[in-house]
Structure 1
Amino acid sequence: MRICILAIDGVFDTGLAALMDVFRLANNLSLRERGVAPFDVSLVGVRRKVLSAQGFGIPVQAIASDAPAPDWAVLPAQGTGDPVTLVTALQRADARKASAQLVAWHARGARLASACNGSLLLAETGLLDGREATISWWLAPLFRQRYPKVLLDESRMLVPTDVGVTAGAAMGHLDLALWLVRQASPELATVVARYLLADIRSLQAPYIIPNHLAHADPLIVGFERWARGNLKKGFSLKDAADALATSSRTLQRRCEAVLGKSPLSYFQDLRVERARSLLHGSDLDIEAIATEVGYVDGATLRTLLRQKLGRGVRDLRADLH
Structure 2
Amino acid sequence: MKLCVLALDGAFDTGITALLDTFATANELALLQGAASQPFDVRLVGVRRRIRTAMGFSTTVEPASALGRPDWVVVPALNAKQPASLVEALGRRDVCEAKDHLRAWHAEGIGIAAACIGTFLLADAGLLDHGEATTTWSLAPLFRQRYPAVKLDDSRMVITSRGVVTAGAMMGHLDLALWLVRQASPELAARVARLMLVDSRSSQAQYIIPDFVAHADPLIARFERWSREHLAQGFSLQASADALHVHPRTLQRRMEAVLGKSPLAFFQDLRIEHAKQLVSSGGDLDGIAQEVGYADASTLRNLLRRKLGRGVRELRAEMMR
Residue aligned with 2:79, SS: coil
Alignment-derived partner of residue 10 in structure 1:
10
CA contact (8 A) 1:135 1:168 kept: yes
Cα distance in 2, alignment partners of residues 114 and 208 from structure 1? 20
Would you say 1:129 and 2:132 are equivalent positions?
A: no
Report Cα offsets for 1:12-38 as digits up to 9, x if no partner: 011101100110111011112123211
Alignment-derived partner of residue 180 in structure 1:
180
1:299 shift after superposition: 3.6
CA contact (8 A) 1:128 1:163 kept: no
Alignment-derived partner of residue 143 in structure 2:
143
Alignment-derived partner of residue 238 in structure 1:
238
Residue aligned with 1:233, SS: coil
Would you say 1:56 and 2:48 are equivalent positions?
A: no
Would you say 1:315 and 2:319 are equivalent positions?
A: no
Alignment-derived partner of residue 214 in structure 1:
214
Residue aligned with 1:320, SS: helix
1:116 shift after superposition: 0.7
Letter of the 1:18 counterpart = A
Residue aligned with 2:319, SS: coil
Q: What TM-score do the two structures reach when normalised by structure 2? A: 0.96
Report Cα offsets for 1:84-127 as digits up to 9, x if no partner: 11100000111111111111111111111111111111111112
CA contact (8 A) 1:69 1:108 kept: no
1:270 shift after superposition: 0.1
Matched residues, number = 319
Would you say 1:95 and 2:95 are equivalent positions?
A: yes
Change (3 A) 1:210 1:74: same
1:282 shift after superposition: 2.8
RMSD over equivalenced CA pairs, Å:
1.3
Letter of the 2:63 counterpart = A
Cα distance in 1, alignment partners of residues 70 and 299 from structure 2? 49
Identity %: 59
Letter of the 1:235 counterpart = F
Letter of the 1:313 counterpart = V
Alignment-derived partner of residue 42 in structure 2:
41
Letter of the 1:241 counterpart = A
Report Cα offsets for 1:57-107 as digits up to 9, x if no partner: 122101244x44211110000113111111000001111111111111111
Cα distance in 1, alignment partners of residues 63 and 287 from structure 2? 62
Alignment-derived partner of residue 19 in structure 1:
19
Q: What TM-score do the two structures reach when normalised by structure 1? A: 0.96
Alignment-derived partner of residue 81 in structure 1:
81
Cα distance in 1, alignment partners of residues 249 and 182 from structure 2? 45
Letter of the 2:113 counterpart = A
Runs of 4+ in 1 over 4 A off after TM superposition: none
1:49 shift after superposition: 1.9
* Runs of 5+ unmatched residues, structure 1: none
Letter of the 1:56 counterpart = F
Greater alpha carbon shift after TM alignment, 297-306 vs 30-39: 297-306
1:164 shift after superposition: 2.2
Alignment-derived partner of residue 157 in structure 2:
157
Would you say 1:253 and 2:282 are equivalent positions?
A: no
Alignment-derived partner of residue 262 in structure 2:
262
